[in-house]
């Protein structure tokens, strides 16, 4: 599949999913090439997609911080 075909594919998928949801944003990375190629497509309100991405980013960061805190607790020495 060429780069253009991949972009067209995710655009079709975003449009198809968008028939059932208010907003859709797809981000994809192609590791089949020697270069870093990303693809994106969406449907629905741009502002809703941006807000959704912001919320996802915040939640992902909070999850990572919680996991780090849990790891720290696991290795704390409580004394003998």
pLDDT at 22: 93
Residue (of 37, 20, 19, 18) closest to 28 by Cα position: 37
pLDDT at 80: 45
pLDDT at 7: 95
List the structure tokens of 67.
């996991």
Check residues 61 and 68 and name the one with the higher pLDDT: 61
Query: What are the residues whose beta carbons fall under 8 Å from the beta carbon of 27, sequence distance 6 or more?
Result: 38, 39, 40
How far, rounded to the nearest angstrom, does the alpha carbon of residue 32 sit from its chain's CA centroid?
A: 19
**In the chain, where the domains are located:** 3-72
3-state SS, residue 29: strand
């Amino acid at each position: 599949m060429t780069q253009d075909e991949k972009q067209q594919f995710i655009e079709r998928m975003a449009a198809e999913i968008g028939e059932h949801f208010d907003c859709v944003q797809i981000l994809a990375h192609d590791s089949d090439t020697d270069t870093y190629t990303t693809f994106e497509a969406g449907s629905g309100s741009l502002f809703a997609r941006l807000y959704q991405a912001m919320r996802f980013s915040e939640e992902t960061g909070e999850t990572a911080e919680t996991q780090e805190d849990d790891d720290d607790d696991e290795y704390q020495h409580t004394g003998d």
